[in-house]
Chains A and B, each alone.
Chain A
Amino acid sequence: MMIAAAKLQTSIEIDEDREILLRTAQGDDSAFALLTERYSGRVYGFLKRMVYSAEDAEDLTQETFCEAHKNRRKLRTDVSPLPYLFTIARRKAISLIRWRKVRRIVLPLMDEHEAAEPDAGETPRDRMHEKRKEEIVEKILATLKPAKRGVLILRYFEGLSYREISSVIGKPEATVKSIAYRAEEELRSKLSDLRLYE
Chain B
Amino acid sequence: MSNCERCKGLINQKLDNELLDLEQPELEEHLKQCDSCSTYYQRMSDLHNRLLSLPIIDTQESIVDQLILDIDNIKKENKDIKFKSFNKHWFTRYGLATAAAIVLFVVPITFLANQNNIEESADSVEFMAAEAPDEKASISNLEIQTDNTLASDSVSRGDGNYGAQAVAFELYKIEEVSNQLIISKDEEVIFKTKQWEDNLSVEFYQINENEISYSLLNEDGQEIASYIINLIENKEDKILD
Q: Report if A and B associate in a common complex.
A: no
